[in-house]
Amino acid sequence: MNRLPAVWQTTRLTIHDGTLADVPQLMAIFNACSHVEPWDPTFKVYPEAEFAGLVTKSMGDGVGNGRFQLQTIRQANQIIGYFHCYHNNPQPNTLFISMFVLHPDHQKGGCGTELVAGLAQQAKASSHQAIWLEVFLKNWPALRFWIKSGFTTIIDMDGAYHHDTTSHASIVIAKSL
């Protein structure tokens, strides 16, 4: 199965498979991004058990866990973000990023761009042909970031049938490797 390596590096970052010891830091980083919730409904408050469940799922054998993997993003041995993804889902040779979170203190400094470039290299080396992700259209900063990172192919779109302040729409975008 084509999983990302358990540990890999970029110029400034080290990426590790998540462990249960990381859960409090993952939760703190996620909560530091809660200001995004009006734009992206996935950024609501979750209990710590939810984060522990994601890490536990990631630690599975890769087949029984739906090919799910959670990795931490570290700079100078400090966790500054994380992402989780599915391998070969929703289709073969595709890496689907299901969550990408970088602490606000580390945004706009090039870490996200560096991580995505490294992730593309690692995904290609593990036989993936594309990376997909879903982004909510109200989340302009995220949409801008992903488009600048080369995610320019629209795969699918979804949205509420009526527009109001609480409705959301999203697109699945892809980058070929």
Per-residue pLDDT tens for 116-151?
999 999 999 999 999 999 999 999 999 999 999 999
- pLDDT given at position 160: 83
pTM score of the predicted model? 0.92
Q: Is residue 1 part of a domain?
A: no
CATH of the domain at 85: 3.40.630.30
- pLDDT given at position 8: 97
Q: Is residue 151 part of a domain?
A: yes
Share of the chain above pLDDT 70, in %: 96
- pLDDT given at position 27: 95
Classify burial at 137, counting beta carbons within 10 Å of its beta carbon; exposed 0-12, middle 13-18, buried 19 or more. middle
Domain containing residue 143: 7-176
Judge whether residue 62 has pLDDT over 80: no
Query: Across residues 6-24, what is the average pLDDT?
Result: 96
Q: Is residue 31 part of a domain?
A: yes
Query: Number of folded domains in the chain?
Result: 1
Q: What is the pLDDT of residues 71-102, one digit of tens each?
A: 999 999 999 999 999 999 889 999 999 999 99
- pLDDT given at position 65: 58
Q: Is residue 149 part of a domain?
A: yes
Which is more confident, 74 or 1? 74
Query: Across residues 109-113, what is the average pLDDT?
Result: 95
Q: Is residue 119 part of a domain?
A: yes
Judge whether residue 104 has pLDDT over 60: yes
Judge whether residue 66 has pLDDT over 90: no
Quick one: which of 5, 2, 23, 28 has its CA closest to 15?
5
- pLDDT given at position 164: 81
Q: Which residues contact 63 (CB under 8 A, 6 or more apart)?
A: 1
Q: Assess contact for 156 and 172: CB atoms under 8 A.
A: yes
Q: Is residue 87 part of a domain?
A: yes
- pLDDT given at position 167: 85
